Amino acid sequence: MRLVLVGPPGCGKGTQAERLVQQFGLATIGTGAMFRDAIARDTDMGRKVKPLMDRGLLVDDSTVNDVVAELFRSPARPERFVMDGYPRTYSQAIAFDALLRQQCLVLNAVVNLTIDDEVVVRRISGRRCCSNPECGVCFHAAARPPKVPGKCDVCGSPLIVRDDDLEETIRRRLTGFHQNTDALLDYYRRQNLVRDITATDPPDMVFANILTALGD
Ligand code: AMP
């Protein structure tokens, strides 16, 4: 199974990606997580993308495409995967298609998680993520509280509000998301790959609907 997950920040994309990984034994490829890791390790790329991420802006297409291409051309090339946060623009989708063709890999579906912007803002304001970059698991005050308040269930590190989860940032990201996604989805709709799924349902139902849409 090779999937692309599309949806605005706060739509539950990460949760659904985790479930797809468990169900189908996939690798998750999250470009946001890759960038956060680069920032934590203070690499050249990390220093380049941090100011953009802090302001809720997208990293330029060629940087993101290069990072993904490097992964697919490495010995650790994923065969079965779920893309979480890439491609995000029409031009990234074109580059990704070319990369997959080169690697003789074919996409099975693009899962499009749909949700109202105001619901996203409410959801995000409760989000707390693990401060340990090697962990990075996210919790939610109401929907997925940690066992001990303020502490990560997985590694025990303190939970923090990420800069890119602040309300002002999230609204900017939503605007950018809508600007980019229409063309991206049109492109994949023409290939008959898009499966639209309502993301406001409880996570179990969203996942069941994804499985049905994938014909599983
Ligand atoms: P995410 O964790 O997917 O929400 O990504 C966090 C941030 O990383 C985004 O706000 C962007 O600044 C950057 N980023 C991640 N993936 C991409 C992408 N495919 N294209 C451009 N920027 C990205």
Domain ranges of the chain: 2-116+168-214
Q: 164 in ligand 1 pocket by Cβ < 6 Å? A: yes
Length of the chain: 216
Q: What is the set of active-site residues?
A: 13, 88, 127, 162, 173
Q: Which of 49, 52, 59, 165 to probe ligand 1 with, by most ligand atoms within 8 A of CB?
A: 59
Return the percentage of the chain with pLDDT > 90, whole number: 75
Instruction: Return all residues near 63 (Cβ < 8 A) that are at least 6 apart.
Output: 45, 48, 49
Strands (E), the chain: 2-6, 27-30, 81-84, 109-114, 127-130, 138-140, 159-160, 194-198
* Average pLDDT over every residue of 56-82: 92
* Average pLDDT over every residue of 39-65: 92
Give the residue from 35, 190, 3 showing the smallest Cα distance to 113. Answer: 3
How does residue 216 score in pLDDT terms, banded at 50, 70 and 90? low
How does residue 173 score in pLDDT terms, banded at 50, 70 and 90? confident
Amino acid letter at 134? E
User: Ligand 1: which atom is nearest the Cα of residue 31?
Assistant: 16
User: Ligand 1: which atom is nearest the Cα of residue 84?
Assistant: 3
CB < 8 Å & 24+ apart, contacts of 189-194: 193/4, 193/107, 193/108, 193/109, 193/110, 194/109, 194/110, 194/112
Instruction: Please give the pLDDT value at position 123.
Output: 83
DSSP 8-state assignment for residue 27 = E
Give the residue from 163, 139, 134 showing the smallest Cα distance to 153. Answer: 139
- CB of 196 closer than 8 Å to CB of 36: no
Q: Indicate whether 131 pLDDT > 80.
A: yes
DSSP 8-state assignment for residue 6 = E
- CB of 170 closer than 8 Å to CB of 9: yes
What rounded mean pLDDT belongs to the chain?
A: 92
- CB of 27 closer than 8 Å to CB of 21: yes
How does residue 76 score in pLDDT terms, banded at 50, 70 and 90? confident
Distance from the alpha carbon of residue 209 to the mean position of ligand 1, in angstroms: 26
Task: For domain 2-116+168-214, give its CATH number from 1.10.3720.10, 3.30.70.100, 3.20.20.450, 3.40.50.300.
Answer: 3.40.50.300
Distance from the alpha carbon of residue 57 to the mean position of ligand 1, in angstroms: 8
Instruction: Please give the pLDDT value at position 172.
Output: 86
